[in-house]
Structure 1
Amino acid sequence: MAISWISALKVIPWGDVIEAAPGLVKGARKVFSRTQAEPAVSQPSAGELAESPAQRIERLEVAVARLGEQQQAAAALLESLAEHNAKVVDAIEVLRLRSKLLTGACAVLLLAVAALATTQLLR
């Protein structure tokens, strides 16, 4: 079991992961801080109700634009995470194939050892 973990750690492109980690953390913090800084939707105050329709539309357009920016930032972060996830999946696939090959090699060696032991016992 320890050998598979060591192999997994060797196959993963750690240089790319370490290089991209600060950007991912920064993007995640930015998205998180934006979502936490946004006030919750509440009932409009008396002052907001007294606004003209044009003022209300302008305020709503600003809010929609801000939400669009947050959505784009979240999408970029998710895309970056998906790329890293794909790299990890590729590395796991390589490990899976190598473990199959190693299992086959072990089976062949086991048969060879059994054949040698049998020939030695029959002599």
Structure 2
Amino acid sequence: MAAGWWSVLKTVPWSEVIHAAPQVASGARRLWDTVNRRQGAMAADDLAPEAYAHEEDVLGAVVARMEHNEAVLIDLHNQMRSASELIANLADQNAQLIAKVDAQRTKIVWLGAAAGLSSLLALVALLLVSVRT
């Protein structure tokens, strides 16, 4: 069983995986930092209506809240784009690994068939030798 895994691991395009790893890691780190920073900012930022109660006019408070919501929306959109890019990179790597594993599975099936045929021929040869003697 270990030999099967070893052959699968040997055929993985490690140079491509290693080449893409820094990009994936930096994308994941950027995403994590953005999410972490945004959660810290939202914890410090009061989004309750009382935060805008110091405004004398209601229109000014509504405009301030709308601008804040637009900024949050733009930030969330950028986070979504970063996450989508990271997911696309991971999906590409996953597809490459699946293709390699599928190729190995096909090779193992052919190898099993060849081993079965060889065993059958060896058994027939052994029977023929034992019948003649």
Normalising by structure 2, we get a TM-score of 0.85
Where does residue 125 of structure 2 map in the other structure? 116
> 2:29, 2:49 → 1: CA distance?
31
Q: CA deviation at 1:43?
A: 4.8
Q: Indicate whether 1:46 and 2:55 are aligned.
A: no
Query: Using the alignment, how far apart are the partners of 1:105 and 1:98 within structure 2?
Result: 10
The structure with more radius of gyration: 2
Partner of 2:6: 6
* Alignment RMSD: 1.6
Q: Distance in 1 between matches of 2:105 and 2:19?
A: 26
Which runs of 5 or more residues in structure 2 are unaligned? none
Q: Distance in 2 between matches of 1:114 and 1:104?
A: 15
Greater relative CO (CA pairs within 8 A, separation 6+): 1
* Shift, 1:60, TM fit: 0.9
Shift of 1:45: 5.9
Distance in 1 between the 2:116 and 2:53 partners? 78
Identical positions, percent: 27
Q: Distance in 2 between matches of 1:85 and 1:9?
A: 14
Aligned pairs for 1:89-108 within 5 A: 89-108=98-117
